[in-house]
Amino acid sequence: MKGIAIAVLTDDESYGRALARGIAEESERVKVRALCTRNMPDDEFLSQAKELADGGYVLVTDRIIEQPKPDDVLPDGTAALGSSFSLPEHMLILSEERTCCHLSCMPKLSPVREIFSRIKEIFLNVTGTEFFRAEAEEEKVIGFFAETGGCGVTAAAVVLSRWLALSSDKPVLYVNAGPKDDYAYYLRPTTGSVDQYRPKKELLFHIIEKLPWNLEKYCFKDSFAVHCLKPEPEGNCLSAREYLEKFLAAVTEKKYFQYIVTDGMRSGAENLCDMRIGVCSSPDKRSVFYEGDEEFATIYNFAAEEISDEPLRIYIPPDEESFQPSEKGIDISMEGIFAARLRDMCRKILAETDGLADTLADTLSDELSVFVEKKQLQ
C-alpha cells in the first residue's frame, strides 16, 4: 500500500521541524521533508512547491500567497504556474485563524494528528488512494448473534472489541448490524463530539457508487481505541444484509482492521462471518432450546450458575455494578465480572485466530490500567 511523501514549508523554522517530527511519528510509511521559506520570494516559493508537488509530495505550509494567473511571467522569462498547478489540490495551508472550513486550510495550532488526518484527505483527493498507518494481516469478522432481545449482546460485543483492541496494536472496528444503533449508549469519541463525523449512509453511498472515501471522516475511536461508525438517530442502514455485505467487503478490502466485531447479526448472515458468537439470557426459558452448535462460542448472560464445563461456553453472572449511567451514556467497567469473563473469551479468540500460546494471550493481564493508559496516549 502506498505511503505519503510530505513537505513542510514554513517561515518559522523551529515550528516546521517540530511539525515534521510529529507527522513522521504518525506512521512508519510517511516520508517528511522540512524546508524553511522565511526569506524566499513568492515566485521562488511557488516554483519549489510545484517541483515538490510534481514529485508526489503533499505540501503543508503556513505561508499565505495569491495563486498566479495563467498569463503571469516569472523573472526568468518562463510562464508562471498558472492553471497547470492548483495549490488547493496539493497543499494544506495552516492559518493563524482559529476556524477554517475549507479542505485546504486549517488552524495552525491544530493537534498533529488532526493535521495528519487532513493530509490524508488531500492525498486521497489527489491520488484516489486511501492511506492507512499500517496494513493488517488478514481481517477476521466476528459476528455476534442473539436469539432473543435483552440478552446483553451489544454490551458483550463492545467489551470484546475493547479487549481485542487492548491486546495488540492492530485496529479493531465495531459494527452494528441490528435495526437500531443503541451502541451509542456505550461508545463515544475520546475527544470532541460525534457530530463532527459524517453519516454512515453517506459512506455506504460512496461504497455502492464506487466513489473515493476516507474512513476517518466517518469513524471515531473510543477511549479503548475501538473504531466505530457514527450512530444513526433512527434506524440503521447496515441492518439490511445486502448493504452490510457490501460494507464488509469494502472495508476488508482495505486490509486495515485486524478484527471487525459485528453486533446484531441475524439468521442468514452466517456466511459473512469468520467466527460466530451466540448470546442468550440464561433466565429466559427459551435459552434451553439454544444449541449454538455451529458457533465458535456461546455466552450465557445473567447466569446463576455454570451448567456446563465446556471451554467455549461462557457463563456471566448478573453484574449490575459494571454498568453505571453517566451524563453521556452508560459506562461499562473493564474491571468487573462482566468484562473479566469476556476477557477469557478474548484469550480463546486470540489463540484461535493468531495461533497464540497462553504466554501471549496472558498479556491481557490484570494490569488493565497499563493498557488503558497506553491506548489513551496514542
Query: 306-348, pLDDT tens digit by residue?
Result: 666 666 788 899 999 999 999 889 999 999 999 999 998 888 8
What nine digits make up the cell of 201? Answer: 449512509
Q: According to the per-residue pLDDT averaged within each range, which of 72-81, 177-186, 274-283, 301-310 is highest? A: 177-186
The CA distances from residue 351 to 119, 136, 330, 357, in Å, are 37, 17, 30, 6
Q: What percent of the chain has pLDDT over 70?
A: 76
Q: Which residue has the cell 503533499?
A: 58
In the three-class reduction of DSSP (H, G, I as helix; E, B as strand; rest coil), residue 298 is classed as strand
Domains within the chain, CATH numbers bracketed: 4-127 (3.40.50.10850), 140-377 (3.40.50.300)
> Using 50, 70 and 90 to split pLDDT, how confident is the model at 149?
confident
Taking a C-beta distance cutoff of 8 angstroms, is the pair 87, 67 a contact? Answer: yes
Dihedral Cα 22, 27, 33, 36, nearest 10 deg: -20
- In whole angstroms, give the CA distance from residue 285 to residue 263: 23
Taking a C-beta distance cutoff of 8 angstroms, is the pair 365, 350 a contact? Answer: no
What is the pLDDT, as a whole number, of residue 91?
A: 87
- In whole angstroms, give the CA distance from residue 298 to residue 73: 73
Q: What percent of the chain has pLDDT over 90?
A: 34
What is the pLDDT, as a whole number, of residue 103?
A: 53
> Using 50, 70 and 90 to split pLDDT, how confident is the model at 283?
confident
Angle at 374 between CA 335 and CA 319, to 5 degrees: 10
What is the pLDDT, as a whole number, of residue 353?
A: 67
Query: 46-103, pLDDT tens digit by residue?
Result: 888 888 888 888 999 988 765 555 455 445 544 444 444 445 477 888 887 655 545 5
* Average pLDDT score, the chain: 80
- In whole angstroms, give the CA distance from residue 28 to residue 288: 52
What is the pLDDT, as a whole number, of residue 82?
A: 43
Read off the pLDDT of each residue in 233-250 and give the average, rounded to a whole number: 93
Taking a C-beta distance cutoff of 8 angstroms, is the pair 185, 330 a contact? Answer: yes
Half-sphere exposure of 149 (CA within 13 A, CB side): 4
What is the pLDDT, as a whole number, of residue 238?
A: 95
Q: Could you give phi then psi for residue 35, rounded to 5 degrees?
A: -125, 130
1 has pLDDT over 50 = no
Read off the pLDDT of each residue in 165-182 and give the average, rounded to a whole number: 88
Residues 6+ apart with CB under 8 A from 215: 130, 203, 251, 254, 256
> Using 50, 70 and 90 to split pLDDT, how confident is the model at 161?
very high
Taking a C-beta distance cutoff of 8 angstroms, is the pair 187, 174 a contact? Answer: yes
Is pLDDT larger for residue 333 or for residue 190?
Answer: 333
Read off the pLDDT of each residue in 6-12 and give the average, rounded to a whole number: 91
